Every structure is written in C-alpha cells, then in structure tokens.
C-alpha cells in the first residue's frame, strides 16, 4: 500500500542495504503521524538497479525512543514488485521523534533498522537508517484502516 500517493513527500533520507545491495532514498519519502504524534509510519519508495519497484514501510506504535522487536506492535514491511514481505526477525529502532510543533513541516523522526524477510524461501537481511522531516497528519480513522490492512493490533 503506497501511502505516498495520498500524502505530501517528506524531506530527508533513508539508506542501507537489502541483501547486501546498497540503497539510498532522497525523495519519495513519507512520514505520517497522528495529530497527537504518538504513532507514526515511515515509508520509502525507490527503483532498484534492475528497474524493479521497492518499498520499505515501518509502523511505530505510541511511545518514546526504543527498540522494537517482532513481538511488539511495531511492524516492518519490504515490498518488492508489489509483493509484501513482513519481517521475520530483527528490530527497528525509534531513535528520536519530535511531533511537538504546531507546524507539521517541523515534525521529524529518526529510525534505524536491521531485520530479515523471507523471499522465495531465502532469508534476506535489510538494514539501515533514516531521518525524515515534514509529516502529514493522519486521522484516527486513517490510522485504524492502515493498521487493519497491515494486520497490526489495536494501538
């Protein structure tokens, strides 16, 4: 589910590697947070060297900075050519966030990630970091729909 089609682009970057192949995303970044700034989504879209569409999506539940593992409400997804691959093991880290400004353009989030997905029976490691600024607020309804479609429990 490409959320960047419905929300303005954030500024910043996300970089890392997928199965040892490096990537860097400087555009097509999305940061969405609820009006209270408690839970949020980060998404990065890019085209691989072979021309295939790629997407990383992270959901962070309400809370402060911390490391989230597979058994938490946080989620990580890797999408390759429209096929969604949820994480199998690893972690995602909410390094810092600031959703206190009344101007959503100043909302920001820094994340770190290292997790595995299974693609055609092979474990692929995805790791990296990201720093985004300029969030789109989402309503409780949008948040609820996103969580339901991604199989995320009630936050």
**What's the pLDDT tens digit per position in 20-57?**
999 999 999 999 887 666 788 999 999 988 888 999 99
pLDDT exceeds 70 at position 2 = no
Q: Residue 23 is part of which domain span?
A: 3-149
Query: Is 84 part of any domain?
Result: yes
What's the structural domain count of the chain? 1
- Give the per-residue pLDDT at 155: 43
Measured CA to CA, the distance from residue 61 to residue 136 in angstroms comes to 16
Q: Where are the beta strands (DSSP E) in 39-135?
A: 40-47, 53-60, 66-69, 75-80, 83-86, 89-98, 108-119, 122-133
Per-residue pLDDT reduced to its tens digit, 65-105: 999 998 888 999 999 988 888 899 999 999 999 988 889 89
Whole-prediction pTM value?
0.88
Does residue 154 sit within a domain? no
CATH number at residue 70: 2.40.128
Is 41 within the bounds of a domain? yes
Residue 155 lies in a domain: no
Dihedral angle of Cα 16, 108, 143, 78, to the nearest 10 degrees: 0
Phi, psi of 104 (to 5 degrees): -60, -25
């Amino acid at each position: 589910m490409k959320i960047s089609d419905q929300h303005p682009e954030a500024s910043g970057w996300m970089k890392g590697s997928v199965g040892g192949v490096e990537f860097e995303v400087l555009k097509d970044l999305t940061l969405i947070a609820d009006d209270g700034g408690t839970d949020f989504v980060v998404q990065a879209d890019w085209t691989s060297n072979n021309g295939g569409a790629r997407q990383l999506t992270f959901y962070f539940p309400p809370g402060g900075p911390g490391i989230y593992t597979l058994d938490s409400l946080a989620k990580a997804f890797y999408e390759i050519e429209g096929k969604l691959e949820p994480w199998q093991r690893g972690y995602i880290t909410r390094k810092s966030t600031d959703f206190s400004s009344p101007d959503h353009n100043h909302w920001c989030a820094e994340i770190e990630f290292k997790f595995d997905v299974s693609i055609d029976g092979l474990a692929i490691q995805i790791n990296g970091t990201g720093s985004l600024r300029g969030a789109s607020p989402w309503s409780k309804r949008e948040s609820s729909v996103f969580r339901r479609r991604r199989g995320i429990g009630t936050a």
